[in-house]
Chain A
């Protein structure tokens, strides 16, 4: 069967992706599970963190970049764990050096330990500096339309509002805000953070998001590889449902079978 609809690729900063599911690499039990989950998810964009090397115990240890080779995936170094613009900018520069000049980064600047809520003041400052320095910035932010528009004005190549708190699995708590951002943004909008299960991912896509980024929902599932497969399908299903256009909601019932020709008529 041929595809009934050939979707456009997701375009971000000159890259084109057929998968609209982006995944993280944290919280897996080992690199084998990481690799299998990423394969099952079909993701082409994979995010990772930058941390100090463990001195003295590094030689011969497997490296994450062996599991997600830059030749096969579009790598998205992130600034998770940064609480200031300065630390986030330093982290991005280290990532660029680590990946031989790679420009695409996921900027996140956090506000506090318990909520990991984005500090948008520091995020805006970091975005401005990174973009001036030539980075392509996909930015994690709150679901605030005005902040999203300002991040786009600064030149961010994708806006990534939270669905709910990082790692919470609470899904999309304010779909109306996400929709407002989608309606007004001129760059791709991806829900990043909060996805708990497949229906959350489908909902994000049905709202009209260009993609979804997740980590915990897959890594912390009882069977991560099966959940990765479920998320692949959910993102595809949600995208197709968005493109198809849902039926109008009605207050009353509307039978699917015709009234005419009933035997009791």
Chain B
């Protein structure tokens, strides 16, 4: 299946969860937030939220700004 991850197309194995995606990116335990199709995926639901083909995923963090 293919998703849009932070605006870029990415091929993933079917059935992957948000938690598995986050882990595969080396972001487990980091201060991040995840949005799936413009809805927040709370941290408590990363384990139980499967990704599906065509999902638009945003993973964000805090950076310097004014």
Contact = CB atoms under 8 A, between A and B. Distances in A.
Most chain B CB neighbours (cut-off 10 Å) among A90, A98, A213, A214: A98
Contacts of B58: 52, 94
A223 B29 CA distance: 35
Contacts of B7: 52
A97 B32 CA distance: 8
A78 B62 contact: no
A4 interface: no
Interface residues of A, number: 38
A216 B66 CA distance: 8
A105 to B, nearest CB: 13
A117 interface: no
A237 to B, nearest CB: 23
Nearest to A94: B33
Nearest to B27: A58
Interface string A205-225: 000000001111001000000
Interface in B1-30: 5-8, 25-27, 30
A40 interface: no
B35 A98 contact: no
A118 interface: no
A55 B66 contact: no
Given A53-B61, A56-B26, 16 more contacts: A24-B65, A25-B63, A25-B66, A27-B64, A48-B62, A48-B63, A50-B60, A50-B62, A52-B7, A53-B60, A58-B25, A58-B27, A59-B26, A65-B62, A98-B31, A219-B66
